[in-house]
Structure 1
């Protein structure tokens, strides 16, 4: 696990800060993100945080290029957005020196999207000292529900030096 948090793929200090700012992470929360910034998958998928707290968080993601062969937003992209948002909210809840890892994701897809930007709204259902549970609702630009996910995270202590 230590390699995931402190491996050579980390960003330099300036690049780390630029990455967090570019993805909407408020300066006061930069300490919650180790040297990898928002993470390669969140960067690749275009995820951007617009609100970020343990009880309520919001992020956006473009539909393109996160589509399946049928031209609609991939169901896995819904799950990546939901887990990224919930895990980040859980990490903020965990506080300095701790981080969250997803242990369960359950998603139901209600409708598809073929263009535009989707918005995920994350609401805490349980904020404990070792587990968190968040509900994440993904909507399209018209506010229609596309999917509903429940994400459970385990809170861990960050390894020394990470």
Structure 2
């Protein structure tokens, strides 16, 4: 595993990832804005991430939520000598978001344990209205040999 400092900047975090990591996030335009084990914030454009009716695809919201919760879980897992692996995610979609806007997801730690981490992820539109609420649980496991 790559050595991570206790406090890490976003560029340093991204540089520590394995080669080719995060391709889905790049494709969808996910950008990390703030990262810590307690809270992770990221944005994603609606443009290019829509369903057939032109609104934000619910699966795109889940990708954003999974990304943010997994990053936080990974940061929590690292000092324990573990890696984070998503095992459960759910999402409730509250309102549509349309192309031309950017949604913001904020993952807040609910539980940071020795074997699991749980985050609530709230995704809002540019007006601050809630678009989606998600919860992700990650198992903290030994890294593969």
Q: Quickly name the TM-score band, shorter chain normalised.
A: 0.7 to 0.9
CA distance in 1, matches of 2:47, 2:14: 28
Change (3 A) 1:92 1:103: same
Q: Deviations over 1:61-120 (max 9, x none)?
A: 000100000000000000010001100110011015532111111100110001210000
Corresponding residue for 1:132?
A: 117
Aligned positions of 1:45-64 closer than 5 A: 45-64=28-47
Q: Determine which of 56, 69, 73 is the counterpart of 1:90.
A: 73
Higher helix share: 1
Q: Determine which of 80, 83, 89 is the counterpart of 1:105.
A: 89
Q: TM-score, normalised by structure 2?
A: 0.87
Check if 1:148 corresponds to 2:133: yes
CA distance in 1, matches of 2:60, 2:90: 13
Q: Which runs of 5+ in 1 are unaligned?
A: 1-23
Q: TM-score, normalised by structure 1?
A: 0.78
Runs in 1 of length 4+ with deviation above 3 angstroms?
A: 28-31
Change (3 A) 1:150 1:62: same
**Paired residue total:** 135
